[in-house]
Amino acid sequence: MSGVGFRRVLLTGAAGRIGSALRPGLRTEVEELRLTDRTTVGPAPGTTETFVQADLLDEAAVARSVEGVDAIVHLGGIPDEAPFDELLGPNIHGTFTLFDAARRAGVTRIVYASSNHASGFYGPADRLTGEEPPRPDSLYGVTKVFGEAVGRLYADKFGLQVIAVRIGSFEQEPSEPRHLHTWLSPGDALRLFRSCLTDKPVHFLTIYGVSANTQTWWPSGDAARTIGFEPQDDAERFAEKISNGATDTWQGGRFAARDYGRWAAD
């Protein structure tokens, strides 16, 4: 696996599950791993980590957080379905604020944490590479399609290098039948984001963040080959531990249900 090519990297949403899991592997690769979140995150002593507290809606704080970095891994935002008014701030306004601050600061690359829920209304028989039209399964998925569109705009208009990662089911190990198709192991997550930070030039890429699952819905395509991502883990080795359940009608699973999310119950 190639090493990280960008020397000063900002990690937004550093207090979250994925951010916390990526920190140990990324901080040994860079001169500075700058952490940011709206809650305080203590940098690990004696490492390359630094911290800038910033709410994604605070334009001045976001501008301070991106100043001087080469690349950004943008994990910040609400990671689940919610009423639109709750998603609007961090996932819509905040995503735009981050991209625009990066443009103004001369950042080279943004790795945007999108979601498989941007395409959750494809069926289990479909095999997706990221080139298909989005079919979001939820308001949360809609916000991720918005973020991908902002990334495409900033790549085309301003030359920002953007990789949209449609993250699958990030879990220590699979625990339900859907995960046999969607699991992203912690090890493969680190391999993926390290690959996204190599200095191989990109324009705009959409890639599914998924392990090398035998039953995957999202086979590795050209985007994965472009950045050299080679997943190693396979959910199939856990298959016997997972009870057989009904096959989901849609790839998005419960997110695609009409009553999923508090707003949809009305």
Say which of 112, 140, 154, 260 is annotated catalytic.
Answer: 140
Q: In this structure, are residues 210 and 218 in contact, taking their beta carbons and an 8 Å threshold?
A: yes
* The one-letter amino acid at 122: Y
Can you spell out the DSSP letters for 168-190? Answer: -EE-SS--STTHHHHEE-HHHHH
Sheet holding 49-53, edge to edge: 49-53, 32-37, 8-12, 71-74, 109-115, 161-167, 204-209
The two three-digit tokens of residue 33, written as one number? 């791993």
Q: Which H, E and C letters describe 41-70, residue by residue?
A: CCCCCCCCEEEEECCCCCHHHHHHHHCCCC
Q: In this structure, are residues 96 and 83 in contact, taking their beta carbons and an 8 Å threshold?
A: no
Distance CA 216, CA 38 (A): 35
To the query of whether residue 140 is one of the catalytic residues in this protein, the response is yes
Q: In this structure, are residues 219 and 132 in contact, taking their beta carbons and an 8 Å threshold?
A: no
Distance CA 158, CA 103 (A): 7
CB count, 10 Å around CB of 179?
A: 22
Distance CA 34, CA 23 (A): 10
Active centre residues (catalytic): 140
